[in-house]
Amino acid sequence: MQNLIKFLKFTILIYFVLCTSINAKIYKPGEIINNGEFEITKKFKINLSPGTWTILRTEEFKWGYFDFRIFGAGRIENNKVVEFWEVVWGDMGVRLQGQIDPLIYSAVFKDKYDGCYERPEYYLVKVVKVGRSHNCMVISHWDVQKELYAPDDPFSKVNSAQYRKYIRENGIKFPQMGLNSYHSYFSRHNLSNWFQVNYVVDPELLEGPVSKFLTEDASEYHKYNIEKHPKHKKTMEKFISIAANYHKKFEIKQKAQKHHLLDLTSYVNEDIQVKSPSKDIVKQLKELNDLYKSGALSGYEFETAKKKLLNN
């Protein structure tokens, strides 16, 4: 997701990404993650909240020796994706820096549809720019139907193709309104890796109120509307804390330079967590998944038992 999650809509970049992807994890769409870890490379992993996570997207764009990888995973409950992570990863190499770095800068700061700069639909933008290096966190609300089926940039609709396919074939859905955080860091001090991470959560997991307005401009979570909706504002503040806390960990993983760090101290509350299934349910889900993998349960039996467990 981004756009289903703010993705590189700059196809030209694909032609210049030199990827040493031998350490990349290989996933298949539909694969279940039950160890609580979304592994992108041996050195870059995302700790997942408890529950059953499913790979929804895995793509690799190639041209000659150049390579760009995208991974998407969702936590599905009652046939709805309630949490979602997507990672865009490339090793930008050490060659052609004079051509590659300006393209990265342009894509991040000059794309007319999305980027690390203030936009009306963004709730919060925190960014540091030092030369061609950048560190960025963007918080926004997400009209999911728009992002899936009619994004602002019509050329970016291809980015959601695997998600739409999974929706059609498996009868699942995304929440109509989600909260989204985008995290990006790039510096030539960081071995030329560029990771962009997007996280989307159903506000219900933050005990958010039911939304009556489910379009981008009308949403209670829009920064121009939120003061009229104090409960939604409280939910957004919870989400910002979760996103800021993640970004601080993201910076550590990226070995971000001290002068590149974002000042997020005022946003972080370590006690705020996304609501997850109980440990007992997680254990039972793992046992069910083990039975399914061993062949003791058919796919239908596994899905039926999982739904029953999650609905209890």
Q: What does the H/E/C string look like for 58-101? A: EEEEEECCEEEEEEEEEEEECCEEEEEEEEEEEECCCCCHHHHH
pTM of the predicted model, to two decimals? Answer: 0.81
Are both 190 and 288 inside the same structural domain? no
302, 288 Cβ separation under 8 angstroms: yes
Q: Tell me what pLDDT residue 41 has.
A: 87
136, 185 Cβ separation under 8 angstroms: yes
pLDDT tens per residue across span 204-241: 999 999 999 999 999 999 999 999 999 999 999 999 99
Among 102-111, 262-271, 272-281, the range of highest mean pLDDT: 102-111
Q: Tell me what pLDDT residue 52 has.
A: 86
Q: Is residue 6 part of a domain?
A: no
Rg for the chain, CA atoms, rounded: 19
Q: Which residues contact 28 (CB under 8 A, 6 or more apart)?
A: 55, 58
Identify whether 3 is preceded by a cis peptide bond (ω within 30 of 0). yes
Residue showing tokens 């061993």: 294
Are both 146 and 284 inside the same structural domain? no
Q: Is residue 1 part of a domain?
A: no
Are both 134 and 266 inside the same structural domain? yes
Identify the weakest region by mean pLDDT among 58-62, 157-161, 180-184. Answer: 58-62
Are both 200 and 170 inside the same structural domain? yes
Q: Which residue has the higher pLDDT, 50 or 191?
A: 50
State which residues form the domain around 287: 277-312
Are both 167 and 157 inside the same structural domain? yes
Q: What CA–CA distance (Å, rounded) separates 70 from 2?
A: 11
What is the average pLDDT value for the chain, to the nearest integer?
84
Domain count of the fold of the chain = 2
Are both 271 and 281 inside the same structural domain? no
Are both 91 and 148 inside the same structural domain? yes
Q: Give the mean model confidence (pLDDT) for residues 72-85.
A: 93
pLDDT at 63 over 70: no
